[in-house]
Amino acid sequence: MPQVRIVAKNFMDMVASLPAMKLDKLYDNPFICQAILRSLPPLAKKYVVQLLYIDVPVSAKLFEDWVLADGASKHRVAIDRLIQLRIFNQTLGRNRETTYRINQTFQVNLQKHIVHGGALPREPMPSNITVRLPSLEELEAYAVDQWECFLLHLINSSEAEKKTNISSSMMRIFQKGLISQRDEREPAKLTEGGFQFLLMDTNAQLWYIIREYISNSEELGVDSADLISFLLELSFHVTGEAYNMNTLTDIQRVTIRDLADLGLVKLQQGRKESWFIPTKLATNLSISLSDTSARKQGYVVVETNFRMYAYSTSKLHCEILRLFARVEYQLPNLVVSAITKESLYKAFENGITSEQIIAFLQQNAHPRVAERVPSVPENVSDQIRLWESDLNRVEIVPAQLFDEFSSRGVFDSACDFARENGGLLWEDSKKMFIIVKGEMFNLMKDFISRFR
Amino acid sequence: MTSVSSKLPTDDVSLLVVIIDTNPLFWTTLNSNFGFSEFLSHVLSFLNSILLLNQLNQVVVIATGISWCDYVYDSSTCVSKRAETLLDKLEEFVEKDESLSTEDSADGVAPSLLSGSLSMALCYIQRVFRSGSLHPQPRILCLHGSPDGPGQYVSVMNAIFSAQRSMVPIDSCVIGAQHSAFLQQASYITGGVYMKPEHFDGLFQYLSTVFATDLHSRSFLQLPKPVGVDFRASCFCHKNTINTGYICSVCLSIFCKHQKKCSTCGSIFGQAQLQDSSTPDKKRKTPSQ
């Protein structure tokens, strides 16, 4: 079983692991407070709101009294998270009682938000300067296009037509862990992690890339806290509005160029000024911190005869399907493929599991079949699982062989002894051979030596 | 595995329909240090905090006047300048409400149109239910102060039962001096929370502690439990709240006095009495309290 896990969702862990000083600095920005609040578990959010206007430490017992027995574990998770993120400060009050007090910067920022309502990080530019802004549909198409182009480059696909502006060194950093190249002549191969990455949904992929991006720029000397706060701030802009580039700092201006290559923003140049327009990918950044993600329209229909029809014009989709299916022919808006034993074996070899494939098929089911239960025919999903378990037919167990028994009586009692202890693997009564599990060797030796 | 398995929406995305009482007659009777403007500032902060909790949370505000009710705010259509939009619409609403209620009934405070705003809230929620398979979890919060109008008994009860059917909890926060039997029943039947705060100055704290709790978290927390629910009904003939009355055996309509014929379904009550004069056929309604 592959043990590679690409951890993409716990961006908040990354924030939580920042040193205390940086974390406190991060809370100076009201948008970060908001984004972080939204990423908390529901119970933790409630605790924060409850304490928002309370200026004295509150005893931990008070919280526990509110919680029903069922919720004790959820309560602990929530409190741990709050303390980890330094939103709650834990202190020992009088009579050795644990008390919590909300982080004051955090508190003040949220209070402002509650009193004044949600403000925008920066004012959009008036429409008389920005001549022609793309419509929301155009913007969405642009974002999807950029992102796919990036992914195709990432997996070194020959299908990528457009060039991406991301430098090859940056690309190599993203590819680390996803793609391996043993030596120069060999074409680069996707690793197990790479396959799992491709099967993730867009938001999860995005966060994985952003994480890599942040840790990379940290090496280049950019403060990760600044970057995180800029990215989170970006997610509070309104999709489709233009924002002036002059409002950004130099570092942010460099960052935003890279983000444009990923499809998070669209850059436009006017006669005098230039501006950036956030796309849905950017504004969804803070939503995807919690597990919410808007469900994408599916495109795959799997039939009981193992045929798979994918209604998609995207080359990336085709590449993904190629990971575990044999593509038979491609029409402008349709990819017809078949799930075969050979294609699946290839996938299993690369470390994709049957459960991942089935989950992928279920999540990307075409709306017409998504209503059906199950959306993937049972015979197909069962067969995929069976084929995987076929590969695991051989089990390796360390074993010991005993032979040349002095008499049949000794052999028989040795067999019985091994069987009783659950260690007998194989016996041949004619030749008087017996094979037992390795860990039973000493027991067996003692047992047989008693007959001597 | 984090990759493909976690695509479910979070459990705490909620749609909150807030019904606020704008009855001017009621607000003038309340003691002077907690007026309508203080009330509104608490409510606005509360709405902001709900929208702060989750990007997908949605808030709808319905104003309840004496003679009509209307949507005054919807967070899905209006993104920026929340408070301004709400206050403008509310002002318009109050003016129109004043012009509609022409003659002044002199007997105390006239009731607000609770049944109307409850129905509007339920209509809105139904529309959300039908819009797609992934929708936020709806709940209704009544911020009500004016006394119950016994005349609205039937329509309020109908609204409560339809909320119960569509599994929408009705929370109620009573701002007035006396308990509201309607809202007690509404919260009791639909599984919502009923509360009458003691100190109105800390209204925001009450709202954020109790009513900001999303439906998912409610199963882990201890929320205020009803002490007693006033189950008394109103009679259909004079719209009075009664302790004991007569009930139609066919359609269950309630009357305070003995009638010859049911005014709702038209059944004639007299026949049984003719055959057996000792006990009348009308069942006596015994209150559950």
CA distance A434 to chain B (A): 42
Contact present, A247 and A122 (Cβ < 8 Å): yes
* Residue B1: predicted pLDDT: 30
Q: Where are the beta strands (DSSP E) in chain B?
A: 14-21, 58-64, 69-74, 137-144, 170-174, 194-195, 233-234, 241-242, 245-247, 254-255, 283-285
Is B115 in the same domain as B239?
no
Whether B6 and A9 lie within 8 Å, measured CB to CB: yes
Which stretches within A85-125 are classed as H helix?
104-116
Contact present, A276 and A240 (Cβ < 8 Å): no
Residue range(s) in chain A whose domain bears CATH number 1.10.10? 11-116
The parts of chain A modelled with pLDDT lower than 50 are 1-9, 290-294
* b/e per residue A151-168 (b: at least 16 CB within 10 A): bbbbbeeeebeeebebee
Is B30 in the same domain as B83?
yes
Whether B4 and A45 lie within 8 Å, measured CB to CB: no
Is B192 in the same domain as B263?
no
Whether A70 and B220 lie within 8 Å, measured CB to CB: yes
Residue range(s) in chain A whose domain bears CATH number 3.30.70.2610? 399-449
- Considering the domain boundaries, does residue B2 fall inside one? no
Whether B2 and A360 lie within 8 Å, measured CB to CB: no
Is B34 in the same domain as B127?
yes
> Which residues of chain A neighbour B134 with C-beta distances below 8 Å?
295
Looking at CATH, the fold of the domain delimited by A399-449 is given as: Alpha-Beta Plaits (3.30.70)
Report the CATH number that the domain containing residue B29 is assigned in CATH.
3.40.50.410
Is B241 in the same domain as B264?
yes
> Which residues of chain B neighbour A194 with C-beta distances below 8 Å?
none
Is B198 in the same domain as B240?
no
Is B241 in the same domain as B214?
no
- Considering the domain boundaries, does residue B151 fall inside one? yes
Q: Which of B218, B252, B271 is the last residue of a domain?
A: B218
- Considering the domain boundaries, does residue B27 fall inside one? yes
Nearest to A320 by CA among A289, A273, A286, A363: A363
Residue A359 has its nearest CB partner, among B5, B11, B79, at B5
For the stretch A33-46, pLDDT in tens is: 888 888 788 888 88
| DSSP label at residue A388 | H
CB atoms within 10 A of CB B250: 13
- Considering the domain boundaries, does residue B6 fall inside one? no
Contact present, B150 and B240 (Cβ < 8 Å): yes
Contact present, B174 and B141 (Cβ < 8 Å): no
Residue A200 has its nearest CB partner, among B3, B208, B213, at B3
The parts of chain B modelled with pLDDT lower than 50 are 1-9, 273-283, 285, 288-289
User: Phi then psi for A308, rounded to 5 degrees?
Assistant: -130, 125
Whether B4 and A356 lie within 8 Å, measured CB to CB: yes
CA distance B169 to chain A (A): 19
Is B21 in the same domain as B72?
yes
Element (H, E) at A52: none
CA distance B134 to chain A (A): 9
CA distance B236 to chain A (A): 42
> Which residues of chain A neighbour B5 with C-beta distances below 8 Å?
359
Alpha carbons B49 and A53: distance in angstroms, whole number: 12
Share of chain A above pLDDT 70, in %: 86
Q: Which domain holds residue B87?
A: 14-218
Is B122 in the same domain as B261?
no
CA distance A384 to chain B (A): 17
Report whether the peptide linkage leading into residue A332 is cis, meaning its omega lies within 30 degrees of zero.
Answer: no
Q: Which of B167, B193, B218 is the last residue of a domain?
A: B218
What angle, rounded to 10 degrees, do the helices at A250-262 and A136-154 form? Answer: 80
Whether B3 and A292 lie within 8 Å, measured CB to CB: no
Contact present, A202 and A294 (Cβ < 8 Å): no
CB atoms within 10 A of CB B54: 21
Is B156 in the same domain as B260?
no
- Considering the domain boundaries, does residue B23 fall inside one? yes
> Which residues of chain B neighbour A199 with C-beta distances below 8 Å?
3-4
Q: Which of B218, B249, B278 is the last residue of a domain?
A: B218
Please state which CATH number belongs to domain A11-116.
1.10.10
CA distances from A108 to A27, A30, A94, A102, A313 (A): 10, 9, 26, 10, 49
Alpha carbons B148 and B112: distance in angstroms, whole number: 8
Q: Least CA distance to A41: which residue of chain B?
A: B12
> Which residues of chain B neighbour A192 with C-beta distances below 8 Å?
none
Is B81 in the same domain as B116?
yes
Whether B213 and A46 lie within 8 Å, measured CB to CB: yes
User: Total domain count for chain B?
Assistant: 2
Is B170 in the same domain as B272?
no
Alpha carbons B234 and B241: distance in angstroms, whole number: 4
- Considering the domain boundaries, does residue B223 fall inside one? no
